[in-house]
Structure 1
């Protein structure tokens, strides 16, 4: 069985996650070493254990959760060096499904959020892992910047993605399983007093952090249409009188030009609104991309 990068990747992730946090703007809620209370409750329930605060999580539980719910969920052991860590860290921060979509979109595949045989085969054929690392990190950062929580946690998220990019490049270039030399330096017990990196480890799931609201282009277009109709009607009323007065003729010409400009502005508003909608959909992975029938992603 091939050696696994899990321990080294986990050490890096825990370095970003810090200790305990319960920031009111963090959609994850109470969190210890990156494990949120809801996830810990699920783990304890499945193992027949009574629920307790995530702040009391033990190291064995922590490692088991990271292994099963994040590393194994994105098939970390089957991904090329560098990509394994980059996708894993994204899964911890924004969920395995979202991280899988970044990988699949970078590979040019339909993004269904499930890493399967097709995705793994495409990753194995990739000749430029460094470019893949950049593509995934770029997509991740673009999504983070579209979230309403970016002003609160953006600085930490930005530093984290930059570090993930750097390490991903290094591991991809070496092609060897990294040594988890700092794994033992990331304790669990006694970390209650540890400071969690400001913003760096706040959860960034698409489902719980909506993109910032933007002006409705359709409303602007409708208002423009009403104004264009009004100016057009006024011009029609004045047209029979244009021969009687140079002033009326000038007003008629002005209204006609204004109507054309307003119509063009309304069309531009529609185009711009659709353009921004597509930009947001791409950054947030909202565009539907079903996998071909009968294929395994």
Structure 2
């Protein structure tokens, strides 16, 4: 599955959700990188932090908030590559429940807004490209029914077209998880033998005499053979 595609999906979402906005016709109000002030206040409260202006949100908070509030709630780790991003982007735009209902209607299961094993099985049993195309068609239809379509329709249309393109690309070339190479085990340090590392002790006694005699015999033979001359 596509647990490793969250980072890529988040980068794509932030292309559409970047910057600050506070449009008078946007019910979300003050919004930074797609995070409304109300959502940020709730996140800070649950994290045991004091409230602050959403414009001060940092990337670590953005990452954690999107992962917790959207990706995990649509079970992005359990969805196939491409489908996960398409559902994730819709969840960010319209809420996780709306995105899950949209997915359930596409795959033909009860649209209760709760993504469970029945929905996941139906997703796996259907062509992934067909899911992405139908999902984005239905998403655009949903947007056209909103009263704010005249104001935001053009931007939403461009966003849906971009999501469709990227999601289909993710199906054709899924994100490959990084190869993790396990570290080599540390060498075992065995205790040295009592005499390890010491120079050898010269032989003594009969063995020493025998070796010395062999050397003397060789020198005598050499002199007799070559007359003591160097060769």
* Global fold match (TM > 0.5): yes
Aligned CA RMSD, in angstroms, stands at 1.4
Structure 2, unmatched stretches of 5+, are 178-231
Matched, 1:150 2:149: yes
- 8 Å CA contact 1:86–1:168 kept in 2: the answer is yes
| Offset at residue 124 of structure 1 (A) | 1.5
- Between 1 and 2, higher relative CO (CA 8 Å, sep ≥ 6) is seen in 1
- 8 Å CA contact 1:20–1:30 kept in 2: the answer is yes
Deviation per CA, 1:74-97, whole angstroms, max 9, x where unpaired? 000100111000000000000000
Deviation per CA, 1:106-153, whole angstroms, max 9, x where unpaired? 000110111111111111122x21111111001100010011100000
Tell me how far apart the structure 2 counterparts of residues 178 and 14 of structure 1 sit (CA, whole Å): 21
Give the SS at the match of 2:93. helix
- 8 Å CA contact 1:14–1:33 kept in 2: the answer is yes
Tell me how far apart the structure 2 counterparts of residues 38 and 178 of structure 1 sit (CA, whole Å): 36
* Aligned residue-pair number: 177
Deviation per CA, 1:202-231, whole angstroms, max 9, x where unpaired? xxxxxxxxxxxxxxxxxxxxxxxxxxxxxx
| Offset at residue 3 of structure 1 (A) | 4.6
Report matched runs for 1:59-70 at 5 Å.
59-70=59-70
Tell me how far apart the structure 2 counterparts of residues 32 and 168 of structure 1 sit (CA, whole Å): 24
Q: What's 1:264 paired with?
A: none
Tell me how far apart the structure 2 counterparts of residues 178 and 8 of structure 1 sit (CA, whole Å): 11
More helix by share: 1
Q: What's 1:131 paired with?
A: 130
Report matched runs for 1:27-66 at 5 Å.
27-66=27-66
The structure with more radius of gyration: 2
| Offset at residue 166 of structure 1 (A) | 0.7
Q: What's 2:100 paired with?
A: 100
Structure 1, unmatched stretches of 5+, are 180-297
* Deviating 4+ runs (over 3 angstroms): none
- 8 Å CA contact 1:130–1:173 kept in 2: the answer is no
> 1:101–1:74: structure 2 CA closer, same or farther, 3 Å change rule?
same
Q: What's 1:263 paired with?
A: none
Tell me how far apart the structure 1 counterparts of residues 2 and 12 of structure 2 sit (CA, whole Å): 21
Tell me how far apart the structure 2 counterparts of residues 24 and 170 of structure 1 sit (CA, whole Å): 35
Q: What's 2:168 paired with?
A: 169
- 8 Å CA contact 1:36–1:54 kept in 2: the answer is yes
Report matched runs for 1:109-128 at 5 Å.
109-126=109-126, 128=127
Q: What's 1:247 paired with?
A: none
> 1:102–1:3: structure 2 CA closer, same or farther, 3 Å change rule?
closer
Tell me how far apart the structure 2 counterparts of residues 3 and 61 of structure 1 sit (CA, whole Å): 19
